[in-house]
């Protein structure tokens, strides 16, 4: 080992605290990049493998009733590889031991019991007997949530007939990775389940013998889904088609795809922040080391080391810091990626997990970290290499300063000498001060960004659950029924108020722009389910037009007063022009709203409703559930009180974990910036501070100079950090927004106050660690330090 190599190791061991502070910041960037890319690849590979193994369909379509003979024609469509038809229905379940009503989605199995598409993966037991009418297979999580064992039974209200069903097995399906019930916002396995029954049983229960109401198609490689969708629509339109759609609109796939895209965004936005801060810290530390080691650089060159060797020597010091950061980042990132992937796999109901972070992910994160630290050290290393031996052996020429208007202003303000020293240091080294301020601002922004999620989600909950959807429950009817059924619903136990709504799946067109959505029609004086604008004011939907949400209006490129063509799916398959009467902001889905009377008149039908919103007396809810289990025309029940509670609890837990992680990251950034900055400041000013002590300045006054500069920069960094955090959050919200949900940017003073408190306390703690060195400072030795 050469002498210059031993010097490298000694320097690294001497600076281990500063190196560790930088390495931890760098490790955050590596870990986040590794976690995001690792989870992205893991979830993508798991999903794609699951889809392939279990032959998840590419195109789906629901229809009111179509004859089985159409299967041949569907299979003959160009690009179709396989077709599977089935009967799908909903039922209210009576689960022994459960007081609440449970909703079940019922799917028929082929006569031979072996589906070709969307193949359920059997977890326990067996498939139902194809000839049985009382055997059922349920999704695995539904069985776990309700404590079901093989051989247990429950009751189902199948189209008015209450039937006892016996569980023969449990399964998972690629069609229901994200199992969400009608009207729900999050999965609730205890109150919503998937049921597979024999074709003969389901067809008889829903009057579908020799017919089907749902079809799935698998496409050949290279086939265009759009062409197949058009052909399917043309073929099924006479039979009440609700419109074919691709995977992108399939509910389960949409949620998973949205989550995977968020992981991509996280890998793009956050790591560059940490890499940039690390590069700045390395540059700051290396610059100071070279300033202190001028004479050593001169000696190295004098004994024969070349410019290249000297340059590489200091670059290698940065590389050692990077190696430590990369090592920590890889260990933490690999562990975190696996743990998060396991949580995602459980939450999204994957039957298995493919976790194998590719070597290129490790290589990419390591190269990014190595490149940023090397670039951070490059300027200082090149400066060291260019020093001539004779010049290096001499002290550097002192910087030239001249008295400016700022100095005269400070004198006029009669500031204390320590305060003037602090301000002069900031002003005379503007680049270093600016970069330190930027680093602290980024730490502030790291706390600001996740804090927005808390207030934004609270705003969503308030808007969705307390301003718009204020009902305690929704009774979903098996088919549209006359509005007179509201009187019957009002007589049920616990019901205090009952209001009806009508739902129509439609395709809205504006020129070449097209969007599939659902029109909700209600009375203008509705109190339980209201149309709300940004300010929380109720919008009375006027007759003769349609009210659209902002996202839907943007996608259709329409404004108030424009006309869109609405193709009503199912029934008569009519198309009607609708004038856009208003555009409002909402946070869930792509909403379109119309007046109930206007819809009835448009479709030439008597007043009808699709569901009933109810407000309830809590003391009688148990009696209500008992009655609902026996109502034949009821397809499902959504208890909004349970949905509110589940949504709020899940969000609170997730936000709590996310805030904790980001606060730790902000602390690491702050400590890395302030600790290194204070150490360098103490190193540069050791002679100056010792001189002040000798001249009679107290230890508190000298400490004030050291602490004051760092804390002043921390305070100045707060507004910039608030602004950067707001920009980052807005960018993240835009990337997170989809047709499923839209995040509002809610600005609250507490967001900025929390971030400032965290960073200011961390800054003060870090600089106090350095300040302890003043107590141990040897004044005589400090006075011998060369200027």
Q: Where are the domains of the chain?
A: 93-196, 408-469+641-787, 495-616
Chain-centroid distance, C-alpha 112: 42
Q: Is 758 in contact with 440 (CB distance < 8 Å)? A: no
Task: For residues 676 and 424, give the distance between their C-alpha atoms in angstroms, rounded to a whole number.
Answer: 20
Rg, C-alpha atoms of the chain: 34
Ranges of beta strands (E only) in 121-208 are 121-125, 135-139, 153-158, 161-172, 192-198
How many other C-beta atoms can be found within 10 angstroms of the C-beta atom of residue 362?
A: 20
Q: Please name which of 600, 648, 631 lies closest in space to residue 475, comparing C-alpha atoms.
A: 631
**Half-sphere exposure (Cβ direction) of 583: Cα atoms closer than 13 Å:** 15
**Out of 59-68, 542-551, 765-774, least confident range:** 765-774
What is the per-residue pLDDT for 740? 63
Which spans in 348-476 are helix H?
359-386, 389-392, 405-412, 417-428, 430-461
DSSP 237: G
Q: Which helix (H) or strand (E) holds 37?
A: helix 16-53
What is the per-residue pLDDT for 534? 65
Q: Burial of 151 by CB count in 10 Å (0-12 exposed, 13-18 middle, 19+ buried)?
A: exposed
Residues 648-691 pLDDT 10s: 776 666 666 667 777 777 777 787 777 777 777 776 666 667 67
Nearest 5°: CA angle at 451, between 715 and 659? 100
How does residue 57 score in pLDDT terms, banded at 50, 70 and 90? very high
DSSP 139: E
Is residue 220 classed as helix, strand or coil in its secondary structure?
A: coil
Task: For residues 487 and 497, give the distance between their C-alpha atoms in angstroms, rounded to a whole number.
Answer: 10
Q: What is the pTM of this model?
A: 0.75
Instruction: Give percent above pLDDT 90 in the chain.
Output: 16
Statement: residue 264 has pLDDT above 80: no
**Out of 37-46, 254-263, 284-293, least confident range:** 284-293
What is the per-residue pLDDT for 235? 92
Statement: residue 63 has pLDDT above 60: yes
Mean pLDDT of the 149-157 span:
90
Is residue 113 classed as helix, strand or coil in its secondary structure?
A: coil
Q: Is 602 in contact with 578 (CB distance < 8 Å)? A: no
What is the per-residue pLDDT for 657? 67
What is the per-residue pLDDT for 398? 61
Statement: residue 787 has pLDDT above 60: no
Statement: residue 217 has pLDDT above 80: yes
Q: Burial of 585 by CB count in 10 Å (0-12 exposed, 13-18 middle, 19+ buried)?
A: middle
Statement: residue 785 has pLDDT above 60: no
Task: For residues 464 and 532, give the distance between their C-alpha atoms in angstroms, rounded to a whole number.
Answer: 9
What is the per-residue pLDDT for 697? 73
- Which residue carries 């395709």 as its tokens? 507
What is the per-residue pLDDT for 78? 92
Statement: residue 411 has pLDDT above 80: no
Q: Is 64 in contact with 87 (CB distance < 8 Å)? A: no
Statement: residue 426 has pLDDT above 80: no
Task: For residues 785 and 787, give the distance between their C-alpha atoms in angstroms, rounded to a whole number.
Answer: 6
How many other C-beta atoms can be found within 10 angstroms of the C-beta atom of residue 628?
A: 20
Nearest 5°: CA angle at 451, between 730 and 663? 120
How does residue 446 score in pLDDT terms, banded at 50, 70 and 90? confident
What is the per-residue pLDDT for 61? 93
* DSSP strand pairing (591-595 vs 513-522): parallel
What is the per-residue pLDDT for 275? 79
How does residue 136 score in pLDDT terms, banded at 50, 70 and 90? very high
What is the per-residue pLDDT for 302? 74
Q: Burial of 596 by CB count in 10 Å (0-12 exposed, 13-18 middle, 19+ buried)?
A: buried
What is the per-residue pLDDT for 394? 63
733 versus 195: the higher-pLDDT residue is 195
Q: Which helix (H) or strand (E) holds 510?
A: strand 495-510
Tokens of 93: 């379940």
What is the per-residue pLDDT for 121? 92
246 versus 390: the higher-pLDDT residue is 246
DSSP 247: G
Tell which CATH classification among 2.60.120, 2.30.29, 1.10.3470, 2.40.40 matches the domain 495-616.
Answer: 2.40.40
Mean pLDDT of the 51-63 span:
93
Q: Please name which of 489, 491, 483 lies closest in space to residue 521, comparing C-alpha atoms.
A: 483
What is the per-residue pLDDT for 44? 85
Task: For residues 107 and 194, give the distance between their C-alpha atoms in angstroms, rounded to a whole number.
Answer: 8
Averaged pLDDT of the chain: 82
């Amino acid at each position: 080992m050469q002498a210059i190599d031993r010097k490298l190791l000694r320097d690294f061991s001497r600076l281990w605290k500063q190196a560790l502070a930088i390495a931890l910041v760098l490790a955050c960037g590596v870990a986040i990049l590794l976690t995001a890319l690792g989870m992205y690849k893991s979830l993508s590979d798991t999903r794609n493998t699951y889809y392939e193994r279990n032959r998840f369909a590419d195109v789906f379509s629901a229809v009111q009733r179509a004859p089985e003979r159409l299967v041949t024609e569907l299979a003959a469509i160009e690009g179709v590889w396989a077709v599977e038809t089935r009967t799908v229905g909903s039922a209210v379940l009576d689960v022994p031991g459960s007081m609440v009503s449970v909703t079940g989605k019922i799917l028929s199995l082929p006569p031979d019991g072996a589906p070709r598409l969307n193949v359920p993966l059997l977890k326990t037991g067996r498939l139902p007997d194809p000839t049985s009418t009382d055997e059922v297979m349920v999704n695995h999580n539904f069985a776990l949530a309700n404590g079901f064992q093989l051989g247990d039974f429950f009751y189902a209200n199948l189209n008015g007939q209450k039937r006892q069903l016996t569980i023969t097995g449990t399964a998972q399906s690629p069609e229901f990775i994200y199992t969400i019930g009608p009207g729900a916002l999050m999965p609730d396995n205890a109150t919503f389940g998937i049921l597979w029954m024999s074709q003969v049983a389901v067809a008889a229960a829903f009057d579908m013998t020799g017919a089907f109401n749902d079809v799935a198609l698998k496409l050949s490689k290279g086939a265009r889904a759009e062409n197949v969708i058009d052909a399917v629509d043309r073929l099924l339109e006479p039979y009440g088609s609700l419109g074919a759609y691709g995977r992108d609109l399939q509910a389960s796939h949409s949620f998973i795809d949205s989550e995977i895209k968020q992981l991509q965004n996280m890998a793009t936005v956050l790591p560059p922040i940490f890499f940039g801060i690390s590069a700045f810290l390395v540059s700051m530390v290396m610059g100071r080391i070279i300033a202190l080691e001028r004479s050593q650089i001169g000696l190295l060159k004098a004994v024969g080391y070349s410019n290249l060797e000297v340059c590489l020597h200091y670059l290698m010091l940065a590389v050692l810091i990077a190696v430590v950061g990369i090592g920590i980042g890889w260990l933490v990132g690999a562990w975190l990626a696996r743990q998060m992937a396991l949580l995602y796999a459980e939450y999204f109901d994957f039957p298995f997990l493919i976790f194998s972070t590719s070597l290129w992910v490790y290589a990419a994160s390591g190269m990014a970290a190595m490149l940023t630290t090397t670039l951070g050290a490059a300027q200082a290393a090149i400066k060291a290499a260019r020093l001539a031996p004779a010049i290096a052996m001499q002290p550097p020429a002192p910087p030239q300063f001249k008295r400016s208007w700022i100095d005269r202003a400070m004198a006029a303000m009669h500031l204390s000498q320590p305060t003037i020293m602090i301000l002069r240091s900031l002003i005379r080294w503007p680049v270093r001060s600016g970069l330190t301020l930027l680093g602290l601002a980024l730490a502030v922004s790291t706390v600001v960004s996740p804090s927005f999620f808390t207030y934004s989600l609270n705003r969503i909950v308030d808007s969705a659950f307390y301003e718009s959807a204020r009902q305690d429950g929704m009774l979903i009817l098996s088919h549209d029924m006359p509005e007179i059924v509201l009187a019957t619903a009002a007589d049920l136990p616990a019901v205090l108020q009952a209001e009806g709504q009508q739902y129509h799946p439609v395709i809205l067109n504006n020129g070449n722009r097209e969007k599939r959505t659902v029109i909700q029609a209600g009375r203008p004086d509705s109190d339980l389910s209201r149309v709300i604008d940004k300010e929380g004011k109720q919008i009375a939907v006027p007759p003769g037009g349609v009210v659209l949400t902002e996202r839907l209006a943007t996608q259709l490129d329409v404004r108030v007063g424009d006309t869109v063509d609405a193709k009503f799916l199912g029934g008569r398959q009519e198309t009607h022009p609708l004038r856009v009467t208003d555009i409002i902001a909402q946070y869930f889905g792509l909403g379109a709203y119309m007046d109930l009377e206007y819809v009835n008149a448009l479709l030439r039908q008597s007043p009808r409703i699709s569901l009933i919103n109810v407000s309830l007396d809590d003391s009688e809810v148990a009696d209500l559930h008992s009655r609902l289990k026996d109502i034949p025309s009821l397809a499902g029940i959504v208890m909004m009180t349970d949905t509110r509670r589940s949504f709020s609890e899940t969000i609170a837990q997730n936000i709590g974990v996310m805030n904790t992680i980001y606060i730790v990251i902000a602390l690491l950034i702050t400590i890395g910036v302030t600790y290194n900055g204070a150490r360098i400041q103490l190193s540069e000013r050791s002679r100056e501070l010792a001189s002040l002590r000798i001249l009679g300045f107290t230890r508190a006054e000298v400490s004030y100079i050291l602490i004051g500069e760092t804390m002043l920069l921390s305070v100045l960094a707060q507004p910039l950090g608030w602004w950067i955090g707001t920009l980052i959050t807005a960018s993240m919200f835009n990337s997170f927004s989809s047709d499923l949900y839209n995040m509002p940017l809610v600005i609250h003073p507490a967001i900025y106050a929390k971030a400032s408190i965290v960073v200011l306390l961390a800054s003060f703690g870090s600089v106090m660690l350095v300040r302890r060195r003043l107590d141990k400072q040897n004044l005589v030795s400090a006075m011998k330090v060369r200027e």
